[in-house]
Structure 1
């Protein structure tokens, strides 16, 4: 059988699933995409509300995401990407200190850090990142494990090597804001890979919203004759002698092959073709809820920075606030404002399944302390939650990634898994997994 004779079901219309679908389609396969949500994108979705365009999850994309931007161009949407200023702030001791967040060199120049930590950063941490540069690749985190950098948490490493301020003022805000993770549970190797990337940090936004890639990919697939079934949850994927059977409530279809591109717990539930070893390993992938609250304002927020992160103890329930009018044009009506507020991990867990009013009551007090008077400017609120929003890359997990991929790809000849949990908890990690899963599938039918 050649790829042109192959029909493939792709379960999941997030970046991983759509990357796999594009690769399979380009090889000539007939592709059908299923997703439980009424929209493509997963946590990269963009929600329209009375002239506001809300990005409740993913905000910006690192310019280093080569596979992501390659596919964005291949989908005909490369022109959507626009460099974002990268001006952020850290809230410490009752005020916002501007930084280019995630960049160690910028942090050295910021008033957010005490002098002693700046000296240690310049003398120890930046040379450390340079020295281990070849081991710190977000696209191949197993290299950090091979170099012995995955045995402890970044909290343990940081307190020993650079002091508590490193953990509280650098590691904690970045991890909570971008990865829903606490320093005590994050692999030191994973954080160092983030720090290495930050040495040359450039971020891009997508005009029209963060779902630009997924919208363009879905449109390209539809134009080429692929079928996209949204609001269509898949309950089971079984392997059969000559292919796979995909089923949901009241329906089932046969395909030649399948890609299950879902968060690890959902993949564990749906993929009935997994070997016992693969199922056990997948069950061990650590995830946690994510939650955000969009605040529609009758005026701009009136600050220069885009993202405000909070040092530990400075906010009870909020990890970060992102000012959408400072990200890229066209997301906010003229003269208005839009904030997206991200909950700290424990608050996100408590908010799972909550209403917008519940989230407003819990999160707005922290926002109002940083932006006095913003509570009086709120004219609308929308709440978003994801049960499996974050994958936690804990100490020891990086070295297991190659084996996890192998089990996810080799449990059945005509069915494979994809997801950011195989590579890194980023959009680039998701796209990389989707492309790799499609290639693995195609290699078996060529």
Structure 2
């Protein structure tokens, strides 16, 4: 008989842990995924509320993420795409800015929007072309500074930054100071320029569900919180111990730091998403609206892109603000939405999702490949080990799996 297959325990069933488990399973390792919650996905789950699909905080899928194309069956997700551009709400109403290579009909929308100067648009175009055409390795190896300093380095004016780039990037980076590493910014900008953003027809939660369904029967254990990492495996909160040759911690950063003293939890960005239902779409197109004055991070009529998000043909509007706020903020938010969309008296507030730890802050100096191997048999993965994105989470899962395989199968 052949040698027994080694066992690996993955703590956490977010997309990083599931990608890690799938890679180990495909390599012949016996995997057990332990998840404290009642479902997979971690921060990426979709709730069904009164017939509406509510992602736990606004999220989108970007087809420009290369690791996603390698790991996921993107066609099976049935992506519903948004326009490659935005509507900027500010003085004078809504101003359209679209990517000209994706929307030729709006090729001059940027320069004609009244936002920025022709010099600004030329500088932004040069930077975007560089980011699209250059190898990712070149972007990772460039001189690092804050995103704001980088934009000024490219010759983009403060007015253009304040009117367009800061409002747009605040919804992506979850911060308004543009202190995020320029290295990370260029990688994100490249993905937006090359890819298309959209939603799986049945919600962002379909991404981890797809990964989980490819694991062997019995590999996934829900409602099994881990209390501690032991010399031989893990100790569950119910007192039960499980042995394993390898333990990979794939939880959120704070929980990972609690389980593994070698891990230092990074600063985190927070965001709150409000969902409203309306009798009909107040916009009529699948385009993101950003708030030039910074009251909102972004607002979108999700059902203009993904009608499956509402079962009865009504409209579902997602609006996000930076930081953690509660339902008592909704009247103030509603007043701003009325300025943007018009009469909202027929709208119904469905839910508020305050996400304290939405994304790890990507501050300079930034290491894009933080260690995933802590010692032989002990590993960690998650977007805090790579970049704060779906791409980073999936890459970190692959890296942790490969590190474990190197130790398990020398």
Gaps of 5+ in 2: none
Say which is worse superposed, 194-203 or 417-426, in terms of deviation: 194-203
Please state how far the C-alpha of 1:135 moved relative to its aligned partner: 6.3
Q: Name the residue aligned to 1:157.
A: 150
Q: Quote the Cα distance in structure 1 between the aligned partners of 2:150 and 2:58.
A: 28
Q: TM-score, normalised by structure 1?
A: 0.81
Once the two structures are superposed, the pairs formed by residues 84-123 of structure 1 within 5 Å of their partners are 84-86=81-83, 88-100=86-98, 109-110=109-110, 113-114=113-114, 116-122=116-122
Q: Which moved more, 1:93-102 or 1:11-20?
A: 93-102
Report the secondary structure of 2:396's partner residue. helix
Partner Cα distance (2:52, 2:271) in 1: 22
**Between structures 1 and 2, the one with greater helix share:** 1
The separation in 2 between residues aligned to 1:176 and 1:3, in whole angstroms, is: 53
Asked if 1 retains the 8 angstrom alpha-carbon contact of 2:57 and 2:355, the reply is no
2-side partners of 1:254 and 1:36: how far apart?
Answer: 18
Residue number among 261, 265, 290 corresponding to 2:254 in the alignment: 265
1:322-355: per-residue Cα shift (whole Å, max 9, x none)?
21111223111233111111112xxx23x2xx4x
Q: Distance in 2 between matches of 1:29 and 1:266?
A: 25
SS of 1:42's equivalent in the other structure is coil
Distance 1:186 1:171, change over 3 A: farther
- Residue number in structure 1 paired with 2:271: 290
Name the counterpart of 2:394. Answer: 431
Q: Distance in 1 between matches of 2:100 and 2:185?
A: 11
SS in 1 for 2:9: strand
Q: CA deviation at 1:103?
A: 8.7
| Aligned counterparts, 1:163-242, within 5 A | 163-221=157-215, 224-238=216-230, 240=231
Determine whether 1:370 maps to 2:340. Answer: yes
Q: Counterpart of 1:334?
A: 312
1:412 & 1:58 partners in 2: Cα distance? 36
What SS does the aligned partner of 2:43 have? helix
Following superposition, the deviation at residue 129 of structure 1 comes to: 4.4
Q: Secondary structure at the match of 2:247?
A: strand
Contact 2:45 2:56 in 1 (8 A): yes
Q: Which residue of 1 aligns with 2:301?
A: 323
Distance 1:158 1:225, change over 3 A: same
**How far apart in 2 are the matches of 1:309 and 1:252?**
50
Map of 2:63 onto structure 1: 63
Aligned-residue offset at 1:112: 7.7
Conserved? CA contact 1:62–1:201, under 8 Å: yes
Is there any run of 5+ residues in structure 1 with no aligned partner, and where?
A: none
Structure 2: how far apart are the matches of 1:205 and 1:4? 42
Q: CA deviation at 1:165?
A: 2.2
Deviation at 1:180, TM superposition (A): 0.9
Name the SS of the counterpart of 2:204 in structure 1: coil
1:145–1:396 Cα contact (<8 Å) kept: no
Residue number in structure 1 paired with 2:364: 395
Deviates more, 1:52-61 or 1:102-111: 102-111
> Among residues 374, 378, 395, which one is paired with 1:415 in the alignment?
378
Shift of 1:444: 0.8
Conservation of the 8 A alpha-carbon contact between 2:227 and 2:234: no
C-alpha change, 1:121 and 1:302, in structure 2 (3 Å) is closer
Q: How many residues align?
A: 404
Deviation at 1:396, TM superposition (A): 1.5
TM-fit CA distance, 1:437: 0.7
Structure 1 CA distance for aligned equivalents of residues 354 and 100 of structure 2? 25
Using the TM superposition, give the Cα deviation of residue 251 of structure 1 relative to its aligned residue in structure 2, in angstroms: 3.8
Q: What SS class does the counterpart of residue 37 from structure 2 fall into?
A: coil
Matched residue of 2:368: which SS? helix
Contact 1:306 1:322 in 2 (8 A): yes
> Relative to structure 1, is the Cα distance of residues 255 and 38 closer, same or farther in structure 2, using a 3 angstrom cutoff?
same
Give secondary structure in 1 for the equivalent of 2:8: strand
Structure 1 residues 265 and 158 mapped into 2: Cα distance closer, same or farther (>3 Å)?
same
Instruction: Spell out, residue by residue over 1:15-42, the C-alpha distance to the aligned partner (whole angstroms, 9 max, x if none).
Output: 1111111111112222222223322112
Q: Is 1:245 equivalent to 2:234 in the alignment? A: yes
After TM superposition, give the deviation of residue 287 of structure 1 in Å: 1.1
Question: Displacement of 1:416 after TM fit?
Answer: 0.7
- In the TM superposition, residue 145 of structure 1 has moved relative to its aligned partner by 5.6
- In structure 2, the residue matched to 1:146 is 141
Aligned counterparts of 1:4 and 1:24: Cα–Cα separation in 2: 15
Q: Take 2:395 and 2:329, find their aligned partners in 1: how far apart are those partners?
A: 34
Deviations 1:171-191 (A, max 9, x none): 312321122122432122322
8 A contact 2:35–2:221 mirrored in 1: yes
